[in-house]
Amino acid sequence: MLDLINFYLIPGLVVGAIYTLGAIGISLIFSILRVAHLAHGDLMAIGAYFALSWVHLLGGPAYLALPAAMALTALVAIGVDRTCYRPLRRRRTVMVIIASFGVALMLRAALMLIWGPDTQVYQSGIQRPMVVAGLRLQEKHLFILGAAIVLVVLLHLFLTRTITGKAMRAVSDDPDLARVCGVRTERVILAMWITAGSLCAAAGVFLGVDTQLSPLMGFNMLLPMFAAAILGGIGKPYGAIVGGMVIGLAEELSTYPLFGEPLIEPTYKSAIAFTIMVLMLLWRPTGLFRGKVL
């Protein structure tokens, strides 16, 4: 039982927290712009590499670089929207989706040009876990889970207690009615990109802390993040929380050797996210929390 908790359940919660933050951003963007943002994974990688530059320049752990990485990634997201998406705002949705694919390629190329194509890490060396009553607790896992919970709580307070958050929810429910009622749509879109970009950067930093950094790290995360968003209900940030945790736990627990051999080889565990996404689209396209249909 302890092996199940230490090597499958806890890593599943950590991966689920990373998926959750990324999926929330995807849901926020879709709820406001009605666009599947294909550059979201590469925006996540940009945030991770911003933190890497902070670590190299100023030293110290990546945890301290998190606020700066979130702020810089939010600025990149705003810049991408102003230069690539806003001119297409009144065009067909498919044009914006194609533009986001182009943005993904440009961001990935920028990563390779600036930071190089090789894998990198925030901190080298072996980090010994703490053992408490048989539980192997790593400092990085405690940080990721704790910080993710804090960010989700702050997001909830932002969406429910602030005027801007309520305006975002109004635009998500009915953009035309919100506009008629005096909601400034462009200001809402700006707040949305700041929020989504910040959460996206946090997910990238957490992934870099948990594993390593590479220019393809965001691209590799795109499918499970979309699967989490679709499972919870695309356009529903709260559904993305549930979807992210379910996808993360399902991926890790699927490799547990229940009958002496892993149920699924760890190499193929990413297929779990794809399978869940396809089944959800076939069975209930609106997701568990009745989101918008793609």
Mean pLDDT of 251-258: 88
H/E segment holding residue 135: strand 135-137
Q: How far apart are CA 67 and CA 151, in angstroms?
A: 11
Task: Return the pLDDT at 189.
Answer: 95
| Unique residue bearing structure tokens 């530059």 | 53
The reported pTM is 0.95
Mean pLDDT of 10-17: 96
Task: Return the pLDDT at 13.
Answer: 97
Q: Give, in degrees to the nearest 5, the angle at Cα 158 between 152 and 161.
A: 125
Length of the chain measured in residues: 294
Which architecture does CATH list for 2-116+135-283? Orthogonal Bundle (1.10)
Task: Return the pLDDT at 73.
Answer: 98
* Helix/strand/coil for 76: helix
> Sorting pLDDT into bands at 50, 70 and 90, what band is 257?
confident
Task: Return the pLDDT at 58.
Answer: 86
Task: Return the pLDDT at 199.
Answer: 97
Percent of the chain residues topping a pLDDT of 70 = 98
Task: Return the pLDDT at 293.
Answer: 55
